[in-house]
């Protein structure tokens, strides 16, 4: 009101105002105008002020959203059109001029990047409109992520339940197949080569299904670690001795380089599943390779204050394009793979407070291991110093 009275008086007395006062007043107006612009530029919302022909102002956020080059105002819609790169959104604003407000709508831009905007139009005087634009893109993305995380978690629980249910009938099938085999051996059932073959297939497939279910359950289940203080060298030797027959059958030469290292806290059986998975992967990758060698190294890494267990193989190596996928669930390049092996390894090592690293000659020109080794998986287990694991042991 005050402002209006001031202007009315000012206009009435315009002819009586001397040059000095006129200059002062214009300066005052200009400084106010600048302040308002700065306030508008400071807002998180995009603001565009326009009438049916001209755009009077676009604040900084609206310029960012429209991907507009800075221009001088006022400017016609047709002229600004040459300086705006968010074409679809601009078209929409262009169409809304001269329309009656207020109204609001959501706009989804489906270019290379999907963007979401909420637009609100108000007519502030007879012909001037204000458009408010909120960029909702990151909020929407976050919502999508949260939704998909939640649905993945729900799906996992559901699937784990089903997997568990399948295990019972599966062991019944397994048991009865064994009974048929016994019946044949004892002469109670008639034997035939076809029947033997069918039984073999059933046994193979049930065992495969069982492996898939076990892997799946391992990858989804939460587990309390049962920690014991162990000598990693002795631990590795005991696991490797289990693999000896498999190394021999596949003609694999296995070497060890065991460093002098301190004991660490591990969950004996749980960590074993991780090491076994890594060894199995090495064996698989060696099968189609001419040189068949595995090297197991243990050492202390000062920088990480951790015990390292390194499994090196002379297998086919890992391609650069697959490198980032190998730990993802269900990613496999093997005909009979479940793609859960490394997912489980990752989970187990993380739950031990450790880390896992992978390197391959195919990815890294400076692969630090000598021929014939092509791939190295390294597990780092924190030593008891400075780890949280200590407090959770008895």
Select from ligand ADP, Mg ion, none the partner in contact with residue 316, using the beta carbon and a kind-dependent cut-off of 5 to 8 Å.
ligand ADP
Distances in Å between the Cα of 302 and the Cα atoms of 111, 234, 265, 307 are 49, 21, 17, 9
Q: Which of 46, 341, 354, 382 binds Mg ion (CB under 5 A)?
A: 341
Q: Using the rule CB under 6 A, is 326 a contact of ligand ADP?
A: yes
Using CB under 6 A, pick the residue from 331, 351, 355, 369 that binds ligand ADP. Answer: 331
Between 80 and 252, whose beta carbon lies closer to Mg ion?
A: 252
Count other C-beta atoms under 10 Å from residue 53's C-beta: 12
- Number of residues near ligand ADP (by CB under 6 A): 22
Distances (CA, A) of 207 to 73, 170, 214, 229: 75, 9, 10, 34
Interface with ligand ADP in residues 352-381 (CB under 6 A): 375
Cα 64 to Cα 80: distance, rounded to the nearest angstrom: 14
Closest residue to Mg ion, Cβ-based?
341
Main-chain phi, psi angles of 324, to 5 degrees: -85, -5
Token pair for 92: 């929409």
Residue among 61 and 359 whose Cβ is closer to Mg ion: 359
User: For residues 258-297, which are near Mg ion according to CB under 5 A?
Assistant: 281
**Nearer CB in complex with Mg ion: 82/324:** 324
58/326 with CB nearer Mg ion: 326
Residue 381: DSSP 8-state: E
Query: Closer to ligand ADP at the Cβ: 220 or 281?
Result: 281
Q: Does 342 bind ligand ADP (CB under 6 A)?
A: yes
Helix then strand count (H, E) for the chain reads 10, 13
Distances (CA, A) of 268 to 24, 86, 152, 236, 362: 84, 58, 30, 11, 33
Q: Are 310 and 270 in contact (CB under 8 A)?
A: no
**Is 339 near Mg ion (CB under 5 A)?**
no
Q: Find the helix or strand (DSSP H, E) in which 142 lies.
A: helix 137-185
First to last CA, the chain: 77
Instruction: Decide whether 178 or 364 has the Cβ nearer to ligand ADP.
Output: 364
Closest approach of Mg ion to the CB of residue 145, in Å: 28
Q: How far is the CB of 80 from ligand ADP (least distance, A)?
A: 53
Which tokens sit at 61? Answer: 């956020």
What part of residues 264-293 is at the interface with ligand ADP (CB under 6 A)?
A: 277, 281-282, 285
Binding residues (CB under 5 A) for Mg ion: these are: 281, 341
């Amino acid at each position: 009101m005050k402002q209006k009275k001031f202007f009315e008086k000012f206009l009435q007395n315009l002819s009586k105002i001397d040059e000095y006062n006129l200059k002062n007043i214009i300066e005052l107006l200009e400084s106010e105008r600048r302040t308002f612009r700065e306030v508008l530029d400071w807002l998180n919302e995009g603001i565009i002020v326009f009438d049916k022909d001209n755009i009077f102002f676009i604040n900084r956020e609206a310029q960012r959203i429209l991907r507009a080059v800075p221009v001088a105002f006022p400017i016609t819609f047709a002229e600004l059109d040459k300086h705006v790169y968010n074409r679809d959104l601009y078209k929409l604003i262009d169409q809304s001029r001269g329309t009656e407000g207020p109204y609001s709508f959501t706009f989804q831009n489906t270019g290379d990047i999907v963007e979401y905007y909420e637009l609100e139009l108000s007519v502030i005087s007879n012909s001037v409109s204000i458009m408010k634009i909120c960029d909702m893109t990151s909020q929407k993305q976050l919502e999508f992520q949260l939704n998909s995380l939640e649905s993945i978690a729900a799906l996992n629980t559901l699937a784990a339940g089903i997997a568990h249910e399948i295990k019972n009938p599966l062991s019944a099938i397994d048991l009865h197949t064994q009974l048929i085999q016994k019946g044949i051996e004892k002469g109670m059932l008639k034997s035939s080569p076809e029947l033997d073959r069918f039984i073999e297939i059933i046994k193979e497939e049930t065992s495969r299904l069982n492996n898939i279910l076990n892997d799946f359950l391992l990858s989804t289940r939460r587990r309390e670690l049962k920690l014991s203080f162990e000598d990693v060298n002795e631990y590795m030797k005991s696991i490797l001795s289990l693999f000896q027959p498999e190394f021999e059958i596949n003609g694999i030469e296995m070497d060890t380089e065991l460093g002098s290292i301190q004991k660490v806290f591990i969950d004996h059986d749980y960590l074993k599943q991780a090491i076994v998975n890594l060894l199995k992967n090495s064996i698989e990758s060696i099968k189609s390779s001419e040189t068949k060698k595995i090297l197991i190294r243990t050492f202390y890494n000062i920088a990480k204050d951790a015990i390292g267990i390194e499994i090196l193989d002379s297998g086919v190596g890992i391609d650069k394009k697959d490198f980032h996928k190998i730990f993802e669930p269900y990613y496999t390049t093997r005909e009979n793979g479940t793609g859960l092996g490394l997912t489980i390894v990752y989970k187990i090592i993380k739950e031990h407070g450790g880390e896992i690293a992978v390197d391959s000659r195919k990815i890294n020109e400076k692969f630090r291991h000598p021929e014939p080794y092509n791939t190295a998986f390294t597990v780092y287990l924190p030593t008891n110093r400075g780890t949280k694991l200590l407090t959770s042991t008895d």
